[in-house]
Amino acid sequence: MIGIFDSGIGGLTVLKAIQHKLPQYQLMYLGDTARLPYGNRSQEAIYKFTTQALGFLFQQGCGLVIVACNTASAEALRKIQREWLLKHYPDRKVLGVIIPLAEKAAELSRFGRVGVVGTRATIKSDTYLKELRKLEPDIEVYAVATPILVPLVEEGMINRPETSKIIRNYVRELKNKKVDTLILGCTHYPLLYQQFKKIMGKSCNVLDAPRIIADSLADYLVRHPDIESKLTKGGNHKYFVTDVTDTFEANAVKWLGHKIVLEKVTLQ
């Protein structure tokens, strides 16, 4: 079974892409909706929440987990992979989302000017800058924190004119810098993909993050048959949240195209 963890509803964009790319695998989703957003939390809190979530998913039988949350990937993933995982679940794997997106941005950028939008914690960590510079030392990276967008998405305010206005204000600096590639560095933001694409214009390549992550996972499983062989195939997907809300349920149905059964869990 493949687990997908996010702070809220945004990770469903990744689940949907993985489901489309790799329909043979059973998936398990966990959204820490009781404690979102992670973007204004301390690094210590983000690490604690993420390890609690991973522990739950591994106990449920997941052999591999995608940390779909950019904030958790930026602030906790490296320590988890190097220390926590080896100590507690040495036979399991945890993958993040930042490296696949950085690799694709470096590949597609025509003039070496990449923009990044994300939560305060993700932007403050400079993780995208570091990963992009490993790939292309001379690349120019312009990062903007866009914290208001997460609650707007969680409330289902996707196609509202005020949301587009907020996005336009956020990316003004990126347009002035003439970035040619934009990374949506939060799993909530692909739900605003069309707005970003329209506002940034044809000269900027806005990355389709969920598809890139799904493609990267598929490639990873081909390269690691020992891990792939242990993953459960078939069966119904499972969805867990730490707080069940009417908004989450309604938006999940709208974005996935079908009803889902949500189970409430407590992480500890």
The yes-or-no answer on residue 62 being catalytic is: no
Residue 91, marked binder? no
As a whole number of angstroms, the distance between CA 243 and CA 136 comes to 41
* Helix count and strand count (H, E) for the chain: 14, 10
Residue 187, marked binder? yes
Residue 193, marked binder? no
Q: Say if CB 113 and CB 182 are below 8 A apart.
A: no
Q: Count of CB atoms within 10 A of residue 138's CB?
A: 6
Residue 188, marked binder? yes
As a whole number of angstroms, the distance between CA 41 and CA 168 comes to 26
Contacts of 6 (CB under 8 A, 6+ apart): 12, 14, 29, 30, 31, 32, 68, 69, 187
Residue 38, marked binder? yes
Catalytic pick among 150, 186, 209, 231: 186
Catalytic pick among 69, 85, 95, 150: 69
The yes-or-no answer on residue 186 being catalytic is: yes
Closest CA to 189 of 145, 250, 249: 145
Residue 11, marked binder? no
**Binding site per annotation, positions:** 6-7, 38-39, 70-71, 187-188
Q: Which residues are catalytic?
A: 69, 186
**From the annotation, which residues make up the binding site for substrate?**
6-7, 38-39, 70-71, 187-188
